[in-house]
Amino acid sequence: MDRLTGIGVSSGIAVGRAVILTQRTEVMRFPIPPDRIEREVQALHSARDLSRQQLRDISARIAQGPASELAALFDAQILMLDDEMLIGQAEKIVREERVNAAWAVHRAYEGLFELFSKMEDPYLRERENDVADVAGRLRMNLRHGARGPKELLSQIDGPSILIADELTASVAAQLDWSRVQGFATDAGSRTYHTAILARSLKVPAIVGLHDASLRIVAGTPLVLDGTTGELVVSPSPEAIDEAQRRAAWPRRKGTGAGEAGPIVTTDGVRVRLEANIELLEDLEYLNEYGAEGVGLYRSEFMLSGRALESVTEDEQYAMYRSLIEQVAPRPVTIRTFDLDERQVSRDQLRPERRRTRPGLRGLRLGLANPDLLRTQLRALVRASAHGPLRIMFPFVTGVEEVRQARAMLTAEASAFGRIAPGQIQVGAMIEVPSAALAADLLAPDVDFFTIGTNDLIQYSLAVDRTDDRVSDLYEPLHPAVLRLIRVVRRAAARHRIPVSLCGEMASDPALVGLLVGLGLTEFSMTPGAIPIVRQVVQELSAQDARRLAGHALRLATAAEIEEYLFDALAASAIQRSPSS
């Protein structure tokens, strides 16, 4: 038995087995029961087969282009997929340690990384990057079956305690608190965003444990005391019995899934929560979590690594029709392919266009390849006969792009005959500053706006979240970001078109009050976040939220806004506490 002491940030006792979430490597490790081993091994092999096909497609496309000599690099990666030191070792780890396949791949990769790093030959040392790419692709394809923490935790047998290196509020919002009894993190403080959320939801929590995520083995029994900040590792049976007697802390009502009925603030403002969807398998969560529709279907996920030109109109139509019919009578918003030029075959892009048009992505890419865009629009028009459909164009930068795309849609709808051109609603994603600042000019040409906060933050602040040198500057609460959101909302209101917000900000329950205060009442988020966001909204006064937003917009830095916002959230949690 070992005792670790951190900072107790949310009182209560929790008993369960350890599940380890390592955010920095984007992989979770958890124990699996004996009857799950073969399924996990099969998932590993399926991920290998899918990765092999993806790499073959990439190699074939590159072999036909100007840099054909680089195709051999991907041929080498294909060979790595059959190397016993990667897949074979990962399978061995699954069977012997009874852990999930994604973690086993990560462990196998770490062993290879150590081996390569000791090699004296510089060329061989550099091959570690290829191994990292292959391991990353395998983990990505394994996540197709269980993409987020909520879906992964749903596979765990019995109550658990989450141990994480770090845990953001938006990830915490996706967790199933009927399975996760409490959590502890290496980092954090009492004013940690997720700590405030934990207190609001009455989930026992400890932060500031430094290296618990490295020291604790997945599946280890734990007792967590969120009052004293003590985490007992491998407690005795007597200690577990005593903790379970003390763990009669009341579960907060309203955090469960599947609640029905409209979502309304305490002062009567109607708020609509829809779901972001990547695969048709995600649709089972719509009813479970009470989503009011699909606010964003990312159509590019149907490609699964295939070249865009290889997906036929009929294939697309079948996918869209199935999606619409399963969701009807609730609406579905389908975003046209949000890809960059690397995901379209080389011969489809004229060389001069590749040289002179940086940022060839989203709607720009579709307009640069009109045949591919028309194919998708025809499939969407055909599918619209089966239920409510909204088509959304991604990465819009100006009015002329929307007009061109809408003209193409009108032509395809007219040619189809049975669909009136105006029957399908058309929207623009506001993801870049030019679109946000010209929202009043865009509004007359569309039926709705969707603010994509992930890209809007990135392009507004010139920050690439994957670049460690500047990733800490990615700040949703930057005054410029909040002001751009307000600009878009006001433009939509003046032209009487709806505006929704998707992205990580929508899933963050700590930011919902601020966003409602900015005038937003429609959100689209990962399905698992809906129950907690619903609870936050139902306990929120829109009038108070407007005052909060008004003050936040007068502050000069993201740090000042963050401190003010979370002080207000903490005060609200105290006021709602039964002991206050």
pLDDT tens track for 171-185: 777 677 777 899 999
295, 493, 577 from 91: Cα distances, Å: 38, 56, 48
Range of weakest confidence among 93-102, 326-335, 481-490: 93-102
CB 387 within 8 A of CB 329: yes
Enumerate the β-bridge partners of residue 428.
393, 449
| Catalytic residue positions, numbered | 193, 502
Element (H, E) at 14: strand 13-22
pLDDT given at position 520: 98
pLDDT given at position 304: 64
Query: Does position 387 have pLDDT exceeding 70, yes or no?
Result: yes
Query: Does position 382 have pLDDT exceeding 80, yes or no?
Result: yes
pLDDT given at position 159: 85
Q: What is the pLDDT of residues 200-223, one digit of tens each?
A: 778 899 999 988 988 998 889 999
Model confidence at 350, pLDDT cuts 50, 70, 90, reads very low
Averaged pLDDT for residues 504-524: 92
To the question of pTM greater than 0.85 for the whole model, the response is no
pLDDT given at position 147: 47
Q: Which domains does the chain have, with CATH numbers?
A: 2-27+156-246 (3.50.30.10), 32-142 (1.10.274.10), 263-576 (3.20.20.60)
pLDDT given at position 245: 84
Q: What is the pLDDT of residues 126-138, one digit of tens each?
A: 556 677 778 877 8
As a whole number, the mean pLDDT across the chain is 84
Chain-centroid distance of CA 147 in Å reads 8
pLDDT given at position 131: 79
- Nearest CA among 355, 414, 362, 420 for reference residue 392: 362
Strand pairing of 332-335 and 499-502?
Answer: unpaired
Model confidence at 354, pLDDT cuts 50, 70, 90, reads very low
Q: Which of residues 486 and 252 earns the better pLDDT score?
A: 486
Range of weakest confidence among 81-90, 185-194, 469-478: 185-194
For residue 159, give the 3-state DSSP assignment. Answer: coil
pLDDT given at position 252: 41
Averaged pLDDT for residues 144-154: 54
Model confidence at 341, pLDDT cuts 50, 70, 90, reads low
Question: Residues of the chain with pLDDT > 90: what percent?
Answer: 47
Model confidence at 431, pLDDT cuts 50, 70, 90, reads very high
pLDDT given at position 124: 54
CA atoms in the 13 A half-sphere facing the CB of 351: 3
Averaged pLDDT for residues 237-241: 91
Query: Does position 276 have pLDDT exceeding 90, yes or no?
Result: yes
Q: Write out the DSSP string of 406-430.
A: HHHHHHHHHHHSSS-TTSSEEEEEE
Which residue type, as a one-letter code, is found at position 430?
I
pLDDT given at position 41: 93
pLDDT given at position 197: 76
Chain-centroid distance of CA 364 in Å reads 24
Omega of the bond leading into 329 within 30 degrees of 0 (cis): yes
Range of weakest confidence among 386-390, 465-469, 573-577: 573-577
